[in-house]
A and B are shown apart, each in its own frame.
Chain A
Amino acid sequence: MQTNTQLMLKVLSVLAWIIFIGVCIEAGAFITNAFFALVKPGIVNRLWQQVDLSALFKYDRSYFFTEMLIMSIVGVMRAYLFYVIITMLHNKHVNLSQPFSHTIRRYILKLSYAALAIGLFSWYGVEYAEWLITQGVKMPDTQYLRLGGADVWLFMSVILFVIAQVFKRGIEMQTENELTV
């Protein structure tokens, strides 16, 4: 059982690293795109993975940079979320034989807040894109904007917050158990 858990954690660690690198590239690409759009506006139609925001760029530059800012924030927050997961898995202070610790609880709370921020920014980004469409701007699908699944992020945030509260009670019980002679 112990070996299975260790193996599972190693697999999860590798997966977290792969996803972390992926989301870092994505976040970096969005930021670089925004920078290039500022310096060389001609390349707007050739942005990262066919995210064609040239119509929005032509319509209004401030709207374009607002949308790019939201996309970048979501990208950075996603990278931060996986960074927290990686540090949690690599932290030497995390003792899995006694998992109910304040360190793990803090990590779970961080993940919960990060998921909440991603959810809120994604939701706002989608609402903003929809509002722009009503203004007559041709916008790509939210899937291409990497802003989809806001409800899932919010749901995940709530679940993680509940788990953090369960951990709080677990820590109390573990402390009481340790002081039972």
Chain B
Amino acid sequence: MPIVVNLDVMMAKRKMSLNELSEKVGLTLSNLSILKTGKAKAIRFSTLEAICKVLDCQPADILEYKTEE
């Protein structure tokens, strides 16, 4: 899929663990894991908003478009 999720990069930059993010965002660990590993088919604006708020970043910092080779 050409949309790459850079959640792990942002989490590393903010030195935040998956458990901590899960608690602050209000998402389950399994759902965050689905998002982090790129298995997610779609993301709700509300989820994106919550993640951006907690990680203090822009949606573009989390989602990236890469052309398929």
Chain A residues engaging chain B, CB cutoff 8 angstroms: 175-176, 179-181
Q: Which residues of A contact B35 (CB under 8 A)?
A: 181
List, in ascending order, chain A residues with CB within 8 A of B47's CB: 181
Nearest opposing residue in chain B for A175, CB measure = B41
Q: 7 A-B residue contacts at CB 8 Å?
A: A175-B41, A179-B39, A179-B41, A179-B42, A180-B40, A181-B31, A181-B40
Residues on B with C-beta less than 8 A from A175 are 41
Nearest CB to that of B43 among chain A residues? A181
Render B31-46 as a binary contact track against A, CB cut-off 8 A, 1 for contact: 1101100011111100
How many chain B residues touch A (CB < 8 A): the figure is 12
CA distance A177 to B39 in the complex (A): 12
Residues of B within 8 A of A179 (CB): 34, 39-42
Cβ of B11 within 8 Å of any chain A Cβ, yes or no, is no
Knowing that A176-B41, A179-B34, A181-B32 touch, tell me 15 more A-B residue pairs with CB under 8 angstroms.
A175-B41, A176-B42, A179-B39, A179-B41, A179-B42, A180-B40, A180-B41, A180-B42, A180-B43, A180-B44, A181-B31, A181-B34, A181-B35, A181-B40, A181-B43
- B27: chain A residues at CB < 8 Å are 181
Chain B residues with CB below 8 A from A180, complex form: 40-44
Q: Which residue of A lies closest to B35 (CB)?
A: A181
Top 9 closest pairs, chain A to chain B, by CB:
A179-B41, A180-B42, A181-B31, A176-B41, A181-B35, A181-B40, A179-B40, A181-B47, A181-B43
Give chain A nearest CB distance to B40 CB in angstroms.
5
Report the Cα distance A180→B28, complex, angstroms.
Answer: 12
In the assembled complex, the Cα of A176 lies from the Cα of B43 at a distance in Å of: 11
Kindly state the separation between the CA atoms of A175 and B35 in the bound complex, as whole angstroms: 15
Q: Smallest CB–CB gap between B46 and chain A, Å?
A: 10
